[in-house]
Every structure is written in C-alpha cells, then in structure tokens.
Amino acid sequence: MPAEPPVVTPRSLAEAYELLGGDPFRPIAGGTDLMVQITGELGEPPERVLDLWRLDELRGIRLANGDALAIGALSTYTQIRRSPLVGEHLPALAEAAATIGAAQIQNRGTLGGNVVNASPAGDTLPVLLAADADIVLGSRRGERTVPAADFWTGYRKTARAEDELVLRIVFPLRPGRRTRFRKVGTRRAQAISKVVMALAYRSDGGVWRDVRVALGSVAERPIRVPETERVLEGAAPRQSVADHAAATIAGEISPIDDVRSTADYRRAVSARILHRMLREEGGW
Amino acid sequence: MTEVVYRFTVNGQPVELAVPGMRRLLDALREDLALTGTKEGCGEGECGACSVLVDGAVVDACLVPVCQVDGSDVRTVEGLATGPEALSPLQEAFLETGGAQCGICTPGMLMAARAFLDDGAEPTEDAIREAIAGNLCRCTGYTKIIDAIAMAARPA
C-alpha cells in the first residue's frame, strides 16, 4: 500500500494558518496530484499533509467589485465548467477545465491545486497568464497578491512561501476583451497536454490591443511569448499577420523532446494553433 | 496527530474507521471494509477502474484520502443491485448488450454511468462518451458499453 503520511484537517483558515506557521506541511486540495505522489514512485512522499478540503472560505466563484471575477482556490473544474459567471465572463477557463482529465478528475481537481502544483503542463495556467490573473496568497502574516506573470518562477517552483496558501485567483474583467483556449494532447480526455495555449486581446477599431499569448508544455513553466505578442499588438488578424505571428512563435519557444511529444512537434503545433485562432478571430 | 475516527456511509450503511487519514478510499473499501467490487487498475487516476460516487459525484477512489470523505455518502458497485437476484436496470443493460467482457473495468464503468444517468443530462452518444472518458476498457468493448448506458437511459 502507498505511504500514509500523517494528515491534519483544519476546520478554519485561521487554524490552517497556525499549523502552517509551525511545522512544514504539504497541502492537499482535491488530491489529484498529491495522491499520486504518496505512492512513492515519483520520489519521496510528503512527510506531513495539511488537508484543505474543509476550508469553505476557499470555495465560491463571485464577481468582486463588479470588475473582476474571483474564483476560490478550492473550486473544482466541474464547478468552474458549470459556473454561469465563468461562462459569461471567462469561457476560455471553462473550456480549459473541460479538457482536464475526465469527470473523476474534474470533480476533485481544483484551480488552486493546478496553480500550486505548478506543472509546466497545467492546463489552466496559460489562461491565468493571458487573462492577467492575480493570485491571492494568505498566511498568518496577512494577504498578498502576486500577478500570474510572476508566480511560476521555474520548474515546479512558485512564489508561494511554505506557510502560505493560495486563497483565490482574481481575473480582471476588461470590457471588450476576448480570451481563447486550445489544448492538444494524445486524446481529448485524460491526456496531459503536448501544447496548451491561451490568447487574449481587445479589438480597437479593427486592430488588436493588450494582446497576450501564453503557452504550457513548451518550457519549464507556463510562459508568455512577448515577441509574438509584439507582432500582434496594434495589428489586425489578417493572413499576413497570422503567418508572421506563427513564424515568430515557432522561433521564440524552446520546447523539449520528452515522453509525450517532441520539440519539433510542439513548435509546429504551437504555430498552427495560433494561426488557426487568428484565422477564426479574423473570420477568413 | 492523534488517531481520528472517520464516519461516513457506504451504500447507505454507516461505517466508522480508525485508520490513517491519508489511506486511499480505495484501500479502505477493499481492505478495511472488504468491499472488493471496486477494482484497482493504475492507482494514479488514469483508468477509472476504482470509480465510486462520493456525495453523488464520480471520483477515482485511488485519489481520495479517507479524511476527505468524513461525513460523506459513498456509493460503490455493491450498492447498485437491489438484492442478491435483483440487478439494477443499468447492470441488466450491460448484460443484455455484452457491455461486460473481462470485467475489470465494469464496476468503474457502472459507477461513471450511474453518475451520468443521475445527473439527468441528455443521453446522446457524445454525452455518454464524455461521461466514460475517464474509464479505460482494455477489451475495447466501448461500443457495447455505450449501447448499455443508452439502453438504461431509455424509459422502460
């Protein structure tokens, strides 16, 4: 049987903060990543686990101040898929949630877990980058906000301190902004992505502004591609622009060969996905 | 970290378990409660063989620690039949269409199908395929399984 490390289940956020302020704990949310690690096949299992599942303070999806969508860290992918607020304001996130695992995973896996697990293939993470999301962390020391762009600092490394919990993810709602999502894996369900991409922009008299292009599974962490964004900023989604952007992104990323795919495939598919998104958005 | 007693129901029966909280629900069911209908396939959330319902939602029992089902309602394949000689209409449909072959995926398929039918979504082929997308059948008898779920979804 797998390791069964000691676990504590706090009943309030304050209790969780106290525990985290003492001995180091590995937090468990929906368990879809951590429960695989307790088998010990992927390295040492955690020594001590903090079960977050009862912290209802970390649940709920709501509009904040009318100009942001705040998603509690314990919101499951199923809740995100079914949320009318997400459907209205950030459908790309609902699309991303729908591509993760299948029903069994979507019923347990959480947005906060995806953020903290920090896999380079985390499917929601490019959406957070493209949508300029803020990650709100809490501890005994208080709350602080880290922009998604600064959160993933290296391979499975984050800006979260050991005594902090991710409380919620806040997406600013900007009028006229559109966000797109696409994942390519071996099959539609239950696949870890080979390439995952999110695109965001605002159309201003036919040209694009505030363009964000973010990818997963092509680097040691989820990334934005600033050179490609510069090609699209102030441009219209025409074929010549799409060709230029596709060539740029293929040169800008440095994916690797691994068990799921090859560097060449990832480069080609990234270019193809972006080109197709531009064609669809441009209506040609 | 004193020992905790976890209380929940399995197929409607109250259970109390004094076991480590990080024990997989799968092991608690099979080893502590002797409910071996739930199968272990991959043990990492890929194959769905250990699918059970927790508060109505289908989950992989290999990925859920016992501490997270405290107070919950757990349903396993043993809870589907209404008596020793009385299979549920869903189980009958699997028999009728040939939806069960070697049998290792069957308990998980049945529980994923149960959650789908309980949800009340339109039982289109696409919706059924999505509902069992997290369940692998190594005999690749998917067509018969989809037929079975569609049959069970039709009013008798």
Count the residues in chain A: 284
What is the spatial distance between Cα A19 and Cα A35, in angstroms, rounded to a whole number?
A: 21
Q: Which residues of B touch A188 (CB under 8 A)?
A: 133
For residue A283, give how far its alpha carbon lies from the nearest alpha carbon of chain B (Å). 28
Whether A77 and A53 have beta carbons less than 8 Å apart is answered as: no
Asked whether residue A274 is assigned to any structural domain, the reply reads yes
Asked whether residue A148 is assigned to any structural domain, the reply reads yes
For residue B131, give how far its alpha carbon lies from the nearest alpha carbon of chain A (Å). 7
Residue B2 is predicted with a pLDDT of 56
Domain CATH for A109: 3.30.465.10
Q: Which of A132, A157, A172 is the last residue of a domain?
A: A172
Q: What confidence tier does A3 reach under pLDDT thresholds 50, 70, 90?
A: confident
Q: Which residues of A touch B134 (CB under 8 A)?
A: 101-105, 189-190
- A4:B112 CB<8 A: no
Shared domain check, A166 and A188: no
**pLDDT tens digits, B14-26:** 999 999 999 999 9
E strand segments, A40-194: 49-51, 61-64, 68-72, 134-139, 142-147, 152-154, 157-158, 165-172, 177-184
- The ranges of chain B annotated as CATH 3.10.20.30 are 6-79
- B27:A6 CB<8 A: no
What helix, strand, coil percent values describe chain B, rounded to 5?
40, 15, 45
Residue A1 is predicted with a pLDDT of 73
Shared domain check, A106 and A153: yes
Q: Is the per-residue pLDDT at A232 higher than 60?
A: yes
Q: Under CATH, which number does the domain B89-153 receive? A: 1.10.150.120
Average pLDDT over residues A107-113: 98
CATH 3.20.20.70: does it fit domain B6-79? Answer: no
For residue A159, give how far its alpha carbon lies from the nearest alpha carbon of chain B (Å). 26
Q: Is the per-residue pLDDT at A40 higher than 80?
A: no
- B20:A6 CB<8 A: yes
Residue B44 CB: number of other CB atoms within 10 A?
16
Average pLDDT over residues A7-26: 96
Number of domains forming the structure of chain A: 3
For residue B47, give how far its alpha carbon lies from the nearest alpha carbon of chain A (Å). 9
Residue A112 is predicted with a pLDDT of 98
Shared domain check, A184 and A159: no
CA dihedral sign of residues A35, A39, A42, A47: positive
Residue B140 is predicted with a pLDDT of 87
Q: What are the structure tokens assigned to B16, written together?
A: 């109390």
What is the spatial distance between Cα A191 and Cα B46, in angstroms, rounded to a whole number?
A: 9
A51 touches chain B (CB under 8 A): yes
Asked whether residue A123 is assigned to any structural domain, the reply reads yes
Which structural domain, as residue segments, surrounds residue A13?
A: 7-50
Q: Is the per-residue pLDDT at A245 higher than 70?
A: yes
Residue A22 is predicted with a pLDDT of 93
Average pLDDT over residues A180-185: 95
- The ranges of chain B annotated as CATH 1.10.150.120 are 89-153
Q: What are the structure tokens assigned to B123, written together?
A: 């039982």
**What's the CA dihedral at A36, A42, A46, A49 to 10 degrees?**
-20
For residue B90, give how far its alpha carbon lies from the nearest alpha carbon of chain A (Å). 19
Positions in chain B whose pLDDT score sits under 50: none
A6 touches chain B (CB under 8 A): yes
Mutation target to probe the A interface, by most A beta carbons within 10 A, among B27, B32, B58, B60 is B60
Q: What confidence tier does A155 reach under pLDDT thresholds 50, 70, 90?
A: very high
Q: Which of A137, A153, A172 is the last residue of a domain?
A: A172
Q: pTM of the full predicted structure?
A: 0.96
Average pLDDT over residues A250-277: 95
Domain CATH for A183: 3.30.390.50
A108 touches chain B (CB under 8 A): yes
Helices within chain A (DSSP H only): 13-21, 34-37, 77-82, 84-89, 91-98, 103-106, 111-117, 125-130, 148-151, 226-232, 239-252, 263-282
> Chain B residue closest to A190 (CA)?
B134
**Chain A 187-206, residues with CB within 8 Å of chain B CB atoms:** 188-190
**pLDDT tens digits, A128-153:** 999 999 999 999 999 999 999 999 99
Q: Which residues of A touch B118 (CB under 8 A)?
A: none
Q: What are the structure tokens assigned to A201, written together?
A: 């922009």
For residue A33, give how far its alpha carbon lies from the nearest alpha carbon of chain B (Å). 8
B/e letters for A92-114, b = 16+ CB within 10 Å, e = fewer, are bbbbbbbbbbbbbbbbbbbbbbb
Residue B156 is predicted with a pLDDT of 64
> What ipTM, to 2 d.p.?
0.96
Q: Which residues contact B102 (CB under 8 A, 6 or more apart)?
A: B138, B139
Q: Is the per-residue pLDDT at A38 higher than 90?
A: no
Shared domain check, A278 and A206: yes
Q: Which of A246, A242, A231 shows the shortest CA–CA distance to A279? A: A242
Shared domain check, A249 and A182: yes
The residue type at B35: L
Q: Which residues of B touch A1 (CB under 8 A)?
A: 23-24, 27, 31
Shared domain check, A182 and A164: no
What is the spatial distance between Cα A140 and Cα A83, in angstroms, rounded to a whole number?
A: 31
Residues of B with CB under 8 A from a CB of A: 1, 4, 20-24, 27, 31, 43-46, 48, 51, 57-60, 62-65, 67-68, 70, 112, 115-116, 130-135
Residue A188 is predicted with a pLDDT of 81
Q: Which of A274, A99, A63 shows the shortest CA–CA distance to A186? A: A99
3-state secondary structure of B49: coil
Q: Is the per-residue pLDDT at A41 higher than 80?
A: no
The residue type at B33: L
Q: Which residues contact B109 (CB under 8 A, 6 or more apart)?
A: B48, B51, B94, B99, B132, B135, B137, B145
Residue A66 is predicted with a pLDDT of 85
**What's the CA dihedral at A243, A248, A253, A256 to 10 degrees?**
50
What's the 3-state SS for A228-259?
Answer: HHHHHCCCCCCHHHHHHHHHHHHHHCCCCCCC
Asked whether residue A22 is assigned to any structural domain, the reply reads yes
Residue B116 is predicted with a pLDDT of 98
Q: Which of A120, A155, A172 is the last residue of a domain?
A: A172
Shared domain check, A146 and A110: yes
Average pLDDT over residues A155-164: 97
A192 or B65: which leads in pLDDT: B65
Shared domain check, A194 and A154: no
